[in-house]
Amino acid sequence: MNKLNLSPKNFQVLAIAFCLIFVGVSCAPQATATPAAKPLIQTVEVTRVVTRVVEIPVTVTPAATLQPAVGQEALPGLAGKWIDPDSSGGGTVSTIAWQNGTYVVTSVVNSSRGGNELSKSSWANGVLSWEYCPANMQHCIFQTTVSLNGDTLTVNWVWTGGGNSGTSELKRQP
């Protein structure tokens, strides 16, 4: 018995040719009893396709990890006083400051309720979040920044005890 010695490339070409012939035979019209029946075996031309893959190294730095220049705010314009005109009692004012390379909410005051209601504040991954607890309510309110567009700061808010959430547009105060 003679042995067939094929290189890996020749074997691949032979395997592809076999598959193409098999597909051609299986897709050919069925033979009929008419004398004009088409042959079941078709000629298939195999072409060689060469593909070259070029790898280009790319380094992506997420915007949230970019550090501003020393003393420069990460989001210029975020620091300031922001009023929520939809809050009870004529508006709740959140004061945001840029301190030591981070944003911090320094106070949350509603003049109809009294003093500073701020309980916590944090800045992470380009998002400022803070919680304040109005004395006359059974829940606290947790807010996170969504976007800053000129004199409008959009925040998402949720009652920490559940039951209510939404989005508010805070307006810059002089």
* Number of domains into which the chain is organized: 1
51-107 residue pLDDT tens = 555 555 544 444 444 444 555 667 788 999 999 987 766 789 999 999 988 999 999
> Which tokens in the block code for residue 3?
């042995």
- Per cent of the chain over pLDDT 90 is 41
User: pTM of this prediction?
Assistant: 0.58
pLDDT at 122 over 80: yes
Q: Which of 9-18, 21-30, 143-152, 157-166 has the largest mean confidence?
A: 143-152
Strands 127-132 and 141-149: antiparallel
Asked whether residue 49 is domain-assigned, the answer is no
* pLDDT confidence of residue 58: 47
Asked whether residue 27 is domain-assigned, the answer is no
* pLDDT confidence of residue 137: 83
Task: Give the Cβ contact number of residue 123 at 10 Å.
Answer: 21
pLDDT at 155 over 90: yes
Asked whether residue 123 is domain-assigned, the answer is yes
Asked whether residue 43 is domain-assigned, the answer is no
pLDDT at 147 over 90: yes
* pLDDT confidence of residue 64: 46
pLDDT at 34 over 50: no
Asked whether residue 38 is domain-assigned, the answer is no
Q: How far apart are the first and last CA of the chain?
A: 97
Q: Which of 34-48, 58-72, 109-123 has the largest mean confidence?
A: 109-123
Asked whether residue 7 is domain-assigned, the answer is no
Q: Which residues contact 24 (CB under 8 A, 6 or more apart)?
A: 41, 42, 44
3-state SS, one letter per residue, for 21-85:
HHHHHHHCCCCCCCCCCCCCCCCCCCCCCCCCCCCCCCCCCCHHHCCCCCCCCCCCCCCEEEEEC
Owning domain of residue 136:
74-173
Inter-residue contact 73 to 98 (CB < 8 Å): yes
Asked whether residue 129 is domain-assigned, the answer is yes
Asked whether residue 136 is domain-assigned, the answer is yes
Domain of 123: which CATH number?
A: 2.40.128.20
Cα–Cα distance list, 27 to 22, 24, 42 (Å): 8, 5, 10
